[in-house]
């Protein structure tokens, strides 16, 4: 293949600041000889994905975007609900990665049981339902919410403190040996959170892009 391979990371919400955060998150995975990694906003998406309605508004425009893409070798859907994952897979022969799926699977390589930090408690039943769908409940230690808005987690100074607090409960009360950050917009907190907790912390977008790089490289 003469052209350079390309991974398209799609932020399915229309908040450009989140997309910019994704660009920062995946930068360490951009190797000159590896695939180009492009982060893009789904302009038709809602400003944030906090409800089932938000999540269910995404699949069809996402599918259109994916079908319209040229020269893309792998797709990443960068929202922790993995909205549209299956319809995207149906619409392309290229591999499609959901960050929740990849984040959790990567956590399984780092500990016997993992914990998830959610933004809000109302997302937890949706996440649990999805873990059950994936058949991975036996490895879940627990999921606990920050009870902050996506906006707050993106900008607030208190976010890291609160993440450490919740992460400690997952580790100490629930027995989590690794933590998955249950949101696309938390990547910059990964390293300090890992240092504070003393157990591996997974940013799901990074996990998905790493798996995409692996699949593309060996084609």
Stretch that binds a copy of itself, among 7-15, 99-107, 151-159, 160-168 (CB under 8 A): 99-107
**Binder of a copy of itself out of 23, 113, 120, 188 (CB under 8 A):** 113
* Least distance (Å) between residue 166 CB and a copy of itself: 16
Measured distance CA(147)–CA(82) in Å, rounded: 20
Question: In the stretch 119-138, what mask flags binding to a copy of itself with x, by CB under 8 A?
Answer: -----xxx-xxx-xxxxxxx
Question: Of 7-15, 38-46, 94-102, 162-170, which segment contacts a copy of itself by CB under 8 A?
Answer: 94-102
With CB under 8 A, what is the number of residues at the site for a copy of itself?
64
Does position 192 interact with a copy of itself (CB under 8 A)? The reply is: no
Question: Do 165 and 193 contact (CB within 8 A), yes or no?
Answer: no
Q: Does 68 bind a copy of itself (CB under 8 A)?
A: no
Pairing status of strand 6-11 against strand 36-41: parallel
Helix (H) or strand (E) holding 209, with range, is: helix 204-217
Which 3 state secondary structure label does DSSP give 1? coil
Indicate which single residue of 23, 120, 139, 168 sits in contact with a copy of itself (rule: CB under 8 A).
139
Write phi, then psi, for 54 (nearest 5 degrees).
Answer: -55, -50
* Interaction of residue 142 with a copy of itself, rule CB under 8 A: no
Does residue number 87 form part of the binding site for a copy of itself (CB under 8 A)? yes
| Ordered DSSP codes for 24-46 | HHHGGG--TTS-EEEEEE-TTS-
Q: Please, how many CA atoms are within 13 Å of residue 112, restricted to the half-sphere of its CB?
A: 3
Q: Indicate the residue among 158 and 217 with the shorter CB distance to a copy of itself.
A: 217
Q: Is 31 in the site for a copy of itself (CB under 8 A)?
A: yes
* 72-96-1-64 Cα dihedral, nearest 10 degrees: -30
28 binds a copy of itself per the rule CB under 8 A: yes
């Amino acid at each position: 293949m003469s052209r350079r391979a390309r991974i398209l990371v799609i932020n399915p919400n229309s908040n450009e600041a989140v997309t910019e955060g994704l660009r920062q998150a995946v930068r360490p995975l951009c190797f000159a000889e590896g695939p180009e990694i492009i982060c893009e906003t789904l302009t038709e998406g809602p400003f944030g994905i906090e409800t089932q309605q938000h999540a269910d508004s995404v699949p069809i425009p996402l599918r259109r975007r994916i079908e319209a893409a040229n020269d893309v070798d792998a797709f990443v859907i960068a929202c922790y609900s993995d909205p549209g994952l299956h319809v995207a897979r149906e619409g392309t022969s290229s591999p499609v990665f959901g960050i929740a799926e990849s984040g959790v699977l990567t956590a399984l390589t780092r500990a016997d049981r993992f914990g998830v930090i959610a933004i809000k408690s109302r997302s937890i039943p949706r996440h649990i339902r999805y873990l059950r769908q994936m058949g991975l409940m036996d490895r879940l230690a627990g999921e606990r919410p920050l009870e902050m808005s996506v906006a707050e987690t993106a900008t607030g100074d208190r976010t890291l403190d609160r993440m450490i607090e919740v992460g400690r409960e997952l580790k100490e009360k629930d027995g989590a040996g690794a933590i998955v950050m249950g949101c696309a917009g938390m990547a910059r907190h990964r390293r300090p959170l890992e240092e504070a907790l003393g157990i591996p912390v997974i940013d799901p977008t990074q996990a998905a892009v790493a798996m995409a790089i692996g699949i593309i490289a060996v084609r």
